[in-house]
Amino acid sequence: MKLFGGFILISLSFIVCGQRPAQNPVPASQPRQAVNPGQDAGQIYTGLGTSPVYGVNLVPFGPEAGDQKVHPGMLTSGQTINMHMFFPFYGGLYNYSVLSVNGYIAFATVLDQGPTINVGVESTNWPQQQDPAMIAPYLCKQQIAQNPSPGLRTGVYYRLILRQSLFGRGTNTNMPYGGTMQQSSFFGQPASKACPSTSESYVHCDRNSDYFLDEMMRWLQEGVAGAAAFRADAALVVTWYNTASAVVGRSDIDAGQLSTYQAIWLTDQPGRLSYVILNYDKLGFDAADFRMNSRSGRCQALFNGGNHTGTVP
C-alpha cells in the first residue's frame, strides 16, 4: 500500500510518502520459477525491499550507496554543498544547500536561537529577525551520538544524482533486467572523469543515476496528478540516520529513542519544477528537550519560503 499526501506551491510540488510495497512483483511476461515444496523462490532486488538497514520506507543510503557524511564539526551549523545546477524553491533558484543535523535543508545560515528553531511568518519578525528558506522533514534541535554503542550507525548522509544526458551521454545503457542498482564503474574513477565539471565524490551521473531518477518519476506519477509531465534530471538525497534529541542521556539513546528519515529533492534541467519526497522510517522523539511532562523545541515538518514568502507546516 502507498500513502501519499500532495500539495503544490508556486513551482514546487511535494509528496510525503508513507509505506511502500516490500517488493515489486515480477512482470507477468516473465516465466515463473519452478519451486519445490518448502523452497523459497528467488527475488529481484529493486532497492525497495525490507532491508534491515534501510527499512521499507527509505531508498538506499550510506557509503555503499555513494553518500558522503556531513562533517562532525558542521552538524549543528550546517555544511554547505554545491548542487551543480539550479533547483527551484518558492520562486527562487538555488545551486547550493546547507545540511544540518537539526532536520533541514536550508538556503541560508540558520542562527542558533535557543531550544526552538523559529522560521516562518507566524514565528519570526522579519526583517528584524532571520527567516531562512528551508525544506525541513523534521525541524528541531538534534544531535548525533559521538560515542554510540557498538553496531549503532549514525550520521547525516547526502549525495547528488545527475542524469547522464546532462553531460551528453545516453541513458540506461546496458541496464539489466529489473534495473537493479548494481555497483557501477563510477566508484572506481575520479568524479571529474565520471561527471564533467564536477569534482566532489558525492556527485553521481552513471546508469544507476538514470535508473534512480526514473524510479522517482514512477513514484511521482503514481502519487501526484500531472506528474507524468515532469522529467527528473537531478536529485539531492539527504538521510538523517539515528539522530537523537538535543538534550538526551545515554540511556535514552541506548533505549532506541532515535529518528531516521530522508528527503529526496528532484528537479528538471531547466529548473522550472521540483518535487520533494519525504520518507520516514522511525521517529523516536517529538521534541528537542524532555523535562518530566513539559517539552520544549517541538519537532515539526515544514516548507518555508523564507523572508515571509510563505510557510507550509
What is the C-alpha to C-alpha distance for residues 243 and 122, in angstroms, rounded to an integer? 27
Average pLDDT across each block of 10 residues of the chain; the chain has 313 residues. List them in order: 36 45 42 41 38 71 96 96 97 97 96 87 93 98 87 95 86 44 43 68 94 97 94 98 89 89 98 97 84 70 97 94
Interior CA angle at 168 toward 167 and 174, to 5°? 100
The answer to whether position 181 is within a domain reads no
**Residues 258/180, Cβ–Cβ less than 8 Å:** no
The answer to whether position 216 is within a domain reads yes
Q: How confident is the model at residue 5, as a pLDDT?
A: 36
Domain that holds residue 266: 64-167+192-312
Q: Could you tell me the pTM of the whole model?
A: 0.78
CA separation, residue 8 to residues 119, 224, 276 (Å) = 20, 10, 11
Which positions ≥6 away from 229 have C-beta within 8 Å?
A: none
Local structure of 81: helix, strand or coil: strand
- The one-letter amino acid code at 307 reads N
Q: How confident is the model at residue 265, as a pLDDT?
A: 99
The answer to whether position 106 is within a domain reads yes
What is the C-alpha to C-alpha distance for residues 119 and 306, in angstroms, rounded to an integer? 8
> How is residue 195 written as a grid cell?
561527471
* Residue among 128, 75, 117 at smallest CA distance from 98: 75
Q: How confident is the model at residue 217, as a pLDDT?
A: 98
The answer to whether position 41 is within a domain reads no
The answer to whether position 7 is within a domain reads no
The answer to whether position 52 is within a domain reads no
Local structure of 259: helix, strand or coil: strand
Q: How confident is the model at residue 170, as a pLDDT?
A: 62
The answer to whether position 110 is within a domain reads yes
Q: Is 175 exposed, middle or buried (0-12, 13-18, 19+ CB in 10 A)?
A: middle
The answer to whether position 59 is within a domain reads no
Residue 97, number of CB atoms within 10 A of its CB:
24
Total domains present in the chain = 1
> How is residue 204 written as a grid cell?
553521481
